[in-house]
Structures are given as C-alpha cells and as structure tokens.
Amino acid sequence: MISLQEVSRSFTQGDSRLQAVDRVTLEIAAGEIHGIMGASGAGKSTLLRMINLLERPDAGKVFVGGQELTVLSASALRQARRSIGMIFQHFNLVGNRTVEGNVGMPLELSGVRRPERQQRTEELLRYVGLLEKKHQYPASLSGGQKQRVAIARALISRPKVLLCDEPTSALDERTASSILELLKEVHASGVTIVMVTHERSVIDRMCSHVSVMEHGRILLTAPVKESYP
C-alpha cells in the first residue's frame, strides 16, 4: 500500500543543514497498523508527512496504492491525496467553521455539491458519535470531541490510508483510549493506518508492525509481537 524508497529530507537550521530523514526505505502492506516510534527529533513526523507529500522529499520515491506520488502534477497530487487521510496531535480544525463545516471541507474543496456533502457529513458525524454537535464550533468541544471531528474529516473522502501524528498525545488517558478504539474500528473497515507515537503502550495495544527511528534512519521494522523479545 505504501512504499518509501530511499527518501531523504533535510532542513536549514541556522548556518547548517539538518538531515531529518536520511535515505529511508519502508514498505507498509494493506491492512497494517504501522507504528513509528523513536526519540524526539528522530524524524518520525517528517517521515509520516512525506507519505502524502505534505513534506516533499529532497530525494527518493513515494508510492501509495501503487501510484508514484513524487512524479505527479499539482492537480494529480490533489486527487491522489483524497485517498490519504491525516489526523494530528492538535487536531488542526478550522476555528471559524462549525463541526459540520470542518468535516465537509475536503468535499467542498473537491467540488462535491451541497446535498451529497451534507449527507456524507452526517453519516461521518454519526459514525464518530457527534451528530448532535454539528452546528457547534470547535472551541466549544473537548479535546476528544475535536479529535473525533478530525477523524470524521479525514475519513470523508473514503481514504485507503490514514496517517496519524501523535493522535492521543494531547488527551487524558481515558479519552485517548476511546480514540484508539475508534481508530481500531476505522482499521477494521479496511483502512491501512500509519501512526507516529512516542508511547510504547500505544504500539502494543494498536499496532501490527513497528518501525523504530533514530537520527533520521529506521533502525528496525518488525511485527509487534517479535519486535521486543
């Protein structure tokens, strides 16, 4: 489903160049929940963001669903990105849009007409258990509710892949647990998940496979049962 081939990304920091991701090759099969672990600054978020080219690699190739994203035109890339949803640690909702407006936004941007948009938005809000909040604004929601809205928005284009960047790090333990259960349901519906986390317990509970990163490289990729003998 996902193939990263020798991808690299560096950033300018002051007078020097920092190699955030260094020639990483990674294959993720359909149906995996693939965790990416490692210390702060190891390059986890940068690697995750290269899967949908939110961060464009300086070198290397990115394939999702057999399609090479790194050679696509801007409009073809926009189209391809519809099959890749993403959620973030701090939810990234749009504050001046209602819950409904946030969830329907990807469809609005791709020109889907209002009646279909509304129907699909309601379907997704029902799925995440927040239909009654559809007219509220993000500021009036709890952290867990915000993440549910973000998940509804990420799923509205029926993606094959969901990228999760520390999705429960800003939440208390019980709320985090309910979000992880929801992500398990998303996975059971056929979505391949890639999740950056610094929590070993999240890997153990959720992931079929794990990659451990250090200094921009992957040290190890393994099925979770065998990764920590």
Ligand X SMILES: Nc1ncnc2c1ncn2[C@@H]1O[C@H](COP(=O)(O)OP(=O)(O)OP(=O)(O)O)[C@@H](O)[C@H]1O
Q: Which residues bind ligand X (CB under 6 A)?
A: 11, 13, 18, 20, 38, 40-46, 198
Kindly state the smallest distance separating residue 40's Cβ from ligand X, in Å: 3
Considering only CA atoms, which of 95, 64, 96 is closest in space to residue 80?
Answer: 64
Nearer to ligand X, 42 or 180 (CB): 42
Cβ contacts of residue 212 below 8 Å, gap of 6+? 37, 38, 218, 219, 220, 221, 227
Kindly state the smallest distance separating residue 110's Cβ from ligand X, in Å: 27
Nearer to ligand X, 32 or 165 (CB): 165
Nearer to ligand X, 46 or 52 (CB): 46
Kindly state the smallest distance separating residue 37's Cβ from ligand X, in Å: 9
Strand partners, 214: 217
Kindly state the smallest distance separating residue 178's Cβ from ligand X, in Å: 23
SS3 131: helix
| Residue 225 buriedness (CB in 10 A; 0-12 / 13-18 / 19+) | exposed
Q: ∠ CA(211), CA(81), CA(85), 5° rounding?
A: 60
Nearer to ligand X, 57 or 101 (CB): 57
Nearer to ligand X, 19 or 83 (CB): 19
Kindly state the smallest distance separating residue 35's Cβ from ligand X, in Å: 13
Kindly state the smallest distance separating residue 55's Cβ from ligand X, in Å: 8
Task: Give the chain's length.
Answer: 229
Nearer to ligand X, 7 or 155 (CB): 7
Question: What SS3 string covers 101-115?
Answer: HHHHHHHHHCCCCHH
CA distance 87 to 89: 7
Provide the pairing of β-strand 84-87 with 161-165: parallel
H or E element at residue 37: strand 33-38
Q: What is the identity of the amino acid at 23?
A: R
